[in-house]
Structure 1
Amino acid sequence: MRVIAEGLVTEDTPPSLIGGRERESGRVVFPCPPGERYEPVALSRTGTLWSYTIQRYRPKSPPYAGPEAFRPWAVAYVELPGEVIVESRLTDVAFEDIRIGMPLELTMIPLDPEAADPVLIPAFRPTGAAA
C-alpha cells in the first residue's frame, strides 16, 4: 500500500489513522505532530458524520496532486468518538444520500483512480444501515 504521506495510517490490515496524544494533557490531534510532545496513537476506524461540503472545483496545484480531469467529491468532518474530529473524503455514497450523524468507517481510496501506480488517501464510507 502506497499512502500519500508517511505516518498517516498504521500498517495494520485494515489500517487506522495515526493521531497524536499530547503527553501532558492527553488531548488528541490528527495528524500526529513530530517531536516529543505527542505520542502516536491509532485512532478509531469508525465515527459519525459531523459536517460536510461538496468540493466542486479543482484545488490549486500544488498542493493538489490528483487527476487533471476533476470530478466533485464530498469532504467530511468525521467525529471519532472520544478522540478528535478529522477531515476526510467521503466515498461510496451519493451526494443526496449524505446525512449528518450517519455512521462511517475508514477505508483507503486512490487519489487518482486512473493512475498507473496510484497513491492511496484515507476516506470514510457509510456503514451499517447507512451503507
Structure 2
Amino acid sequence: MTFVVDSLLTETPEGPALLGSRCTECSAHTFPRQGGCPRCTGTAMEDVPLARTGTLWTWTVQGFRPKPPYTGTPAYEPYGVGYVELADQLLVEARLTESEPDRLWIGMPMEIVISPFRDAADDGGPTHTFAFAPVTGADR
C-alpha cells in the first residue's frame, strides 16, 4: 500500500496509529515527529505510536477544491476536516471520513482509519493517507 508519507504511520497490534514524538523530559507529545520539544525546548525525543481513538474537538466541511498544489482525486467532493483530541496527548488536524454536518458533533468519538487520497501512485496503485472516522454506534 502506498502512502502520502510513509513515516506518518506505524502498525500496532490494534491496527494503524499515527507516529509521533514524546519528550522524555516533560512528556509533551508532538505530531508529526520532531527532534525538539516545543514545550520545554528539550532535545530528548522518542518515537511513540499515538492513541488510535479520540474525540472530535472541532470540525468544518471543505466545500471547495483546495488551491494548488492540491493533488487529490480529480473528481473533487467536499470532505470533513477537524481537530481530534487524543486524550492525554495532543490535538491532531486531520481529514474526516464523514462530511455530512448533521452527522458530526463536537465531542464525537473518533478512530483512525486508512483512507484513499488519490487514484494512482507512481506504481499505478492508489495513494492512501490517514483520516478519522466516527466510532461505530456513537451517540450524542
Q: Which residue of 1 aligns with 2:84?
A: 78
Give 1 or 2: higher strand fraction. 2
TM-score, length-scaled by structure 2: 0.82
Q: Percent identity?
A: 41
2:115–2:128 Cα contact (<8 Å) kept: yes
Q: Distance in 1 between matches of 2:136 and 2:130?
A: 19
Q: Please name the residue that 1:96 is paired with.
A: 102
Q: Alignment partner of 1:79: what SS?
A: strand
2:125 equivalent in structure 1: 117
How far off its partner does 1:84 sit? 0.6
Aligned to 1:45: 52
Q: Encode CA deviations 1:78-131: one digit per residue, 9 max, x unaligned.
A: 00000010011111463321011010111000002x445111111111114328
Segment of structure 1 superposing worse, 65-74 or 86-95: 86-95
Q: Which residue of 2 aligns with 1:31?
A: 32
Which letter maps to 2:114? Answer: M
Secondary structure at 2:7 match in 1: coil
Aligned mates of 1:34, 1:2 — CA distance in 2: 25
Cα pair 1:19 1:32 within 8 Å, conserved: yes
The more displaced of 71-80 and 29-38 is: 29-38
Deviation at 1:53, TM superposition (A): 0.9
Aligned counterpart, 1:130 = 138
Question: Shift of residue 11 of structure 1?
Answer: 3.1
Q: Is the 8 A contact 2:61 2:99 kept in 1?
A: no
Flag the structure with larger Rg. Answer: 2
Structure 2 distance, partners of 1:102, 1:7, is: 27
Number of equivalent positions:
129
3-state secondary structure, aligned to 2:17: coil
Unaligned runs of 5+ in 1: none
Residue 9 of structure 1 aligns with which residue? 9
Distance 2:59 2:2 in 1: 27
Q: Normalised by the size of structure 1, how large is the TM-score?
A: 0.87
Structure 1 residue identity aligned to 2:65: R
Letter in structure 2 aligned against 1:10: T
